[in-house]
Amino acid sequence: MTILDIPRAEPPLDGHTPDGDPATAWHRAKLHYKQVSPLNRRKFTIVVVGTGLAGSGAAAALGELGFNVVAYTFHDAARRAHSVAAQGGINAARGRKVDGDSLDRFVKDTVKGGDFRAREADVFRLAEESVRVIDHMDAIGAPFAREYGGQLRTRSFGGVQVSRTYYTRGQTGQQLQVAAARTLQRQVAAGTVELRTHREVLDLVVTDGRVRGVVARDLRTGAIEVQAAHAVVLATGGYGKAFFHSTLAHNSNVSAAWRAHRRGALFASPSYLQFHPTALPVSSQWQSKTTLMSESLRNDGRIWVPKKAGDDRPANDIPEEERDYYLERKYPAYGNLAPRDISSRAAREQIEAGHGVGPLKNSVYLDFRDAIQRLGKKIIEQRYGNLFEMYADCTGEDPYTVPMRIAPGAHFSMGGLWSDYDMQTSIEGLFVGGEAGWGYHGANRLGANSLLSACVDGMFTLPHTIPNYLAGHLNEPLLADDDPAVTQTVADATGRLEALLAVGGKTGSDRFHRELGEILYRGCGVARSKGGLAQAIDEIRDLRHRFWSDLRVPGTGRELNQELEKAGRVADYLELAELMCVDAYDRDESCGAHFRVDHQTPDGEALRDDRNWCFVSAWEHTPGTLGQPGMPVRHHEPLTFAAVPLQTRNYQ
């Protein structure tokens, strides 16, 4: 079994957070940012990779400001980005309802929900801009639910005791993405944004520590193209699909971010991976992904298991006194709206103790019986109708009459490329937005903060910070296609494709991906141990060796070849997975979604170690042989909390 000797780097990283009160940091930063005059903006070219809420928002805003923008997506249209999959809502401290919500309460909930492993000043920016996000999305056509008098309606999400989540039934991400994609298409029509579809970014051109462009592959023809740029934005989403069975779409991947990491961008907290407590359970061997059921369902649904282990009676045959509403019992102040990390661990405990339900005994019940009796079926249908329809389509069961079955599933990555307060990575000129970054969520994301963070990054942060960077590079030419840095990057990207095609083995990439997911769920899942992580690292290294010796990719690289696309993404997951386990092995504490069984309180809650671990780990890639990277170097950025003092999380 591996015992890791992990090199550490000094001095600490500088996040370039403005000094002073974190509540006013964003206002002061914007006041001192450099500007690019309107007549000079057209001299700059910016590449935006990804067209979800963060990517579409950034490309549209920068295009409207007058910059030349080239936007890349591997989809056939911008609106198909994975932001459409978010269901329940988007948070904002805007409503000021009688429940006493405020900007300060938003910050407290988010910092506490992330178990004090986020950058506090970033969270203040998230809260401040949340008000503008809702007004902006409402103005560009997002059909938010409304009260009878016309005001926007809100509901609650996990980890909060107020109603701050704006929503469009169970289709919030879809409706926001449609609105954002329309603003992007408006700039495409205006000529300020060039949208390149069916393209996958394979690598970044980096020279002298600065990004100068991207190398992409046309997925229809296999042609390799280069786009030079003065700045690059990666808004490519999260890496939860490394677990194979996840709530993410099959095309979701880490490859562009991982290319940046291999070129020098630090990767922050890769082990912080959220398991959503209301995913549909895996029910058979052939199942290729899990399906997300919105956390908003926990507003009215009650979660329970049979009190008697091994009870296999139908749910409706189990009387009330023989049901254990375990979240309401353990966390009475929050009940079924306990944060996701806590709810997922509680479900796992019940399942492993023999109280799981369903054919494979791997789920718990989410029951709407009481809500339907109290409110009526019509109200529940108005709030969650499309989600109930989706559940019925997936399972063949009617959730109006039979409790839903749910289970924790790999979902959202709080880790991502490390960036400073301006959202610039450790590579000069390379910026990150949305789930591809790390800043807001700490070790556990509160529900409905995902759509918000993507919108804040793309629409209201990067349009300020990128011009501040570009102002110092006026009149600099783009790199020529024959520049040595460009030709070498093209050769590297092409060589990697050829290496995948040349393995000549017998096993498809899906088989390796599925096995990787089993290793990660077992060794780096809802609960982790030092021994289990060390074993997972050994298993991943062995699997990666088998991948590079037995991979089969039919066809060539000069045509549409989806097997080649998948193989490249799985190769990157096989490297990322080791870093995830190394990070979890190294972080000798429990915090949020990173739960080490050797660091827990007597009643089974996560036990932080603020004296030794109150920092974000940011990992530096070290080269190795093909598919076998060297041992990464850990950098760290200390975290301080002025407005929300360090405290033990308590949701009871």
Do 229 and 47 contact (CB within 8 A), yes or no?
Answer: yes
Percentage of the residues of the chain whose pLDDT score is greater than 90: 91
Give me the mean pLDDT over the 155-170 stretch: 91
Give me the mean pLDDT over the 621-636 stretch: 87
49-78 pLDDT per residue, tens: 999 999 999 999 999 999 999 999 999 999
Is residue 286 very low, low, confident or very high in pLDDT (cuts 50, 70, 90)? confident
Residue 54 makes CB contacts below 8 A (sequence gap 6+) with 235, 433, 434, 435, 436, 454, 455, 457, 458
591-602 pLDDT per residue, tens: 999 999 999 999
Tally Cβ neighbours within 10 Å of residue 394: 13
Fold of 277-410: Flavocytochrome C3; Chain A, domain 1 (3.90.700)
256-283 pLDDT per residue, tens: 999 999 999 999 999 999 999 999 998 8
Is residue 624 very low, low, confident or very high in pLDDT (cuts 50, 70, 90)? confident
Q: CA 175, 177, 178 angle in degrees (round to 5)?
A: 65
Is residue 285 very low, low, confident or very high in pLDDT (cuts 50, 70, 90)? confident
Average pLDDT, the chain: 95
Give me the mean pLDDT over the 508-534 stretch: 97
- Cα–Cα distance measured from residue 594 to residue 443, given in angstroms and rounded to the nearest whole number: 7
Residue 534 makes CB contacts below 8 A (sequence gap 6+) with 1, 2, 3, 4, 585
The DSSP 8-state label assigned to residue 507 in this structure reads B
Q: What is the pLDDT of residue 203?
A: 98
Query: What are the residue boundaries of the structural domains of the chain, listed by start?
Result: 22-275+412-471, 277-410, 484-638
Q: What is the pLDDT of residue 98?
A: 67
Give me the mean pLDDT over the 455-472 stretch: 98
Q: Give the active site residue among 41, 169, 340, 634.
A: 340
Residue 626 has pLDDT above 70, yes or no: no
Q: What is the pLDDT of residue 490?
A: 98
Q: Which long-range contacts (CB under 8 A, 24 or more apart) does 313-318 make?
A: 314/402, 315/357, 315/365, 315/367, 315/402, 315/403, 316/401, 316/402, 316/403
Q: What is the pLDDT of residue 170?
A: 85
- Cα–Cα distance measured from residue 98 to residue 101, given in angstroms and rounded to the nearest whole number: 8
Q: What is the pLDDT of residue 262?
A: 96
Tally Cβ neighbours within 10 Å of residue 97: 12
117-142 pLDDT per residue, tens: 999 999 999 999 999 999 999 999 99
Q: What separation, in Å, do the N-terminal and C-terminal C-alpha atoms of the chain show?
A: 39
CATH of 22-275+412-471, one of 3.40.50.300, 3.40.140.10, 3.50.50.60, 1.10.10.10: 3.50.50.60
Residue 96 has pLDDT above 70, yes or no: no
Percentage of the residues of the chain whose pLDDT score is greater than 70: 99
- Cα–Cα distance measured from residue 287 to residue 256, given in angstroms and rounded to the nearest whole number: 27
340 is catalytic: yes
DSSP for 226-275 reads EEE-SEEEE-----GGGGSSBSS-TT--SHHHHHHHHTT--EE-TT-EEE
Residue 402 has pLDDT above 80, yes or no: yes
Q: What is the pLDDT of residue 191?
A: 97
Give me the mean pLDDT over the 300-322 stretch: 97
What is the bridge-based pairing of β-strands 90-91 and 165-166?
antiparallel
Q: What is the pLDDT of residue 603?
A: 87
The whole-model pTM stands at: 0.96
Give every strand in the sheet of 404-413, ordered side by side.
273-279, 404-413, 364-367, 302-306, 323-324
- Cα–Cα distance measured from residue 417 to residue 413, given in angstroms and rounded to the nearest whole number: 11
Residue 526 makes CB contacts below 8 A (sequence gap 6+) with 275, 344, 345, 348, 408, 595
- Cα–Cα distance measured from residue 503 to residue 518, given in angstroms and rounded to the nearest whole number: 24
- Per CATH, 22-275+412-471 and 484-638 having the same topology is answered no
Q: What is the pLDDT of residue 430?
A: 98
- How many residues in the chain? 652
CATH, domain range 484-638 = 1.20.58.100
Half-sphere exposure at residue 179, Cβ-oriented, CA atoms within 13 angstroms: 22
Is residue 627 very low, low, confident or very high in pLDDT (cuts 50, 70, 90)? low
| 1-29 per-residue burial string, b: 16 or more CB within 10 A, e: under 16 | eeeeeeeeeeeebebebbeeebbebbeeb
